[in-house]
Amino acid sequence: MSIYHLKIKLLSDTTFGRGDGVAGLLDQEVEYDPNGFPYLRGRTLKGLLSEECDNLVAVLPDATRKHWQQIAADLFGNPGSTLETVGKIHVGDACLPGDLREAVAQQLLKPKNDLKLKPINILESLTTIRRQTAINSKEGTPDEHSLRSARVIIRDLEFTAPLYFHTSPTDEMLSLLVAGTWALRRVGSGRNRGRGHVHCRLFNQGQEIGQDYLQRFGKMEIQAR
C-alpha cells in the first residue's frame, strides 16, 4: 500500500460543517472528534478533490479530454462503482497533528486531570463563533430574523489527510491529483462568502510533489506501435 499526505493550511476562518447546529447557540456547528478537535471528513475531502479534477479535465482540448476523464474515473471511481471498478484512492480524515491530539488525549484520560481540561475547552480554543445578518439593499438595515451564527476554525491551522492507494498510482494519476490539489482553494460551509480559503499541497514521504507532475497534466503519451 502507498500512502501520500495532503496538507491543508487554513488561510481564512473555516467551517468544516456537519450539517446541523446547536439549539439556542449555533446554526452551524463544525465536525469534531470526541476530544474536541475539529476535522474534515475524508469522504467530503475526496468529493472536493474529485470535483476540482473534473473541472480541470472539462476544459482540456477534445483530443485529450476523454483520456483524462478515464484517468479521473480510475482514480476516484464513478457513481455506483462495484468492487472491480472502485477508485484507486481512499481519502482519510484531515486532522490536526497527531502528536498534539495524542498529548491532549492522554491529559484528558488522566484520573487526576490537573488542568481540568474538557473536550469543549479544546474545541473553543481552536474555534470561534461568527455571526452575520442579511442587509436590506433598499433601506440599508438588517433584515429581521436573518441573524445566523456559525462556528469557524481559526485560520493558520494546518490539517493533514492520508491518501491511501492499494496499488501504486500511475504518474498520470499523480499528475491529475497534484493539479486538483493545487486548484482546491475553498472548502467547507460558507466558502462562497469568504470562509474556507485554503492552501493545499501533496506530499510523499515528507517531500512535496508538485511541479514535475503538474507539467504532465493535460498531455497524452503516444504509444509506440
* Residue pLDDT, tens place only, 205-217: 999 998 888 888 8
Is 222 domain-assigned? no
What is the full DSSP assignment across 89-111?
Answer: EEEPPBBS-HHHHHHHHHHHH-S
Looking at residue 24, what is its pLDDT?
A: 82
Task: Specify which residues 153 forms β-bridges with.
Answer: 14, 127
Q: Is the pLDDT of residue 30 over 50?
A: yes
Nearest to 13 by CA among 196, 215, 137, 162: 196
Read off the pLDDT of residues 161-185 as tens digits, 9 standing for 90 and up: 999 998 899 999 999 999 999 999 9
CA angle 177, 62, 168 (to 5 degrees): 25
Looking at residue 91, what is its pLDDT?
A: 96
Looking at residue 135, what is its pLDDT?
A: 81
Is 225 domain-assigned? no
Is 220 domain-assigned? no
- 204: cell is 510523499
Q: Is the pLDDT of residue 224 over 60?
A: no
Enclosing domain of residue 7: 2-215
Q: Is the pLDDT of residue 18 over 50?
A: yes
142 CB neighbour count, 10 Å cutoff: 13
Is 224 domain-assigned? no
Read off the pLDDT of residues 62-90 as tens digits, 9 standing for 90 and up: 889 999 999 999 999 887 666 667 789 99
For 181, phi then psi, to 5°, come to: -65, -45
- 14: cell is 473555516
Query: Region 20-42: what's the mean pLDDT?
Result: 92
What is Dmax (Cα atoms) for the chain? Answer: 72
Strands 2-10 and 158-165: antiparallel
Q: Is the pLDDT of residue 35 over 70?
A: yes
Looking at residue 83, what is its pLDDT?
A: 66
Encode burial over 81-118: b for 16+ CB neighbours within 10 A, e otherwise: eeeeeebbbbbbbbbbeeeebeebeeebeeeeeeeebe
Please tell me the total count of domains within the chain.
1
Is 180 domain-assigned? yes
Between these two residues, 79 and 49, which has the higher pLDDT value? 49
Q: Which range, 105-109, 110-114, 155-159, has the best average confidence (pLDDT)?
A: 155-159
Looking at residue 2, what is its pLDDT?
A: 92
State the Cα–Cα distance between residues 116 and 88, nearest whole angstrom: 44
Looking at residue 222, what is its pLDDT?
A: 53
Amino acid at the residue 107: Q
Looking at residue 193, what is its pLDDT?
A: 76
State the Cα–Cα distance between residues 148 and 195, nearest whole angstrom: 14
Percent pLDDT > 70 in the chain is: 93
Is 42 domain-assigned? yes
Between these two residues, 1 and 204, which has the higher pLDDT value? 204
Looking at residue 225, what is its pLDDT?
A: 41
Q: Is the pLDDT of residue 43 over 90?
A: yes
State the Cα–Cα distance between residues 201 and 156, nearest whole angstrom: 15
* Backbone region of residue 93 per phi and psi (left: phi > 0; alpha: psi in -120 to 50; beta: other values): beta
Is 157 domain-assigned? yes
- Mean confidence (pLDDT) of the chain: 89
Is 39 domain-assigned? yes
Q: What is the distance of C-alpha 114 from the center of its chain?
A: 35
Q: Is the pLDDT of residue 223 over 70?
A: no
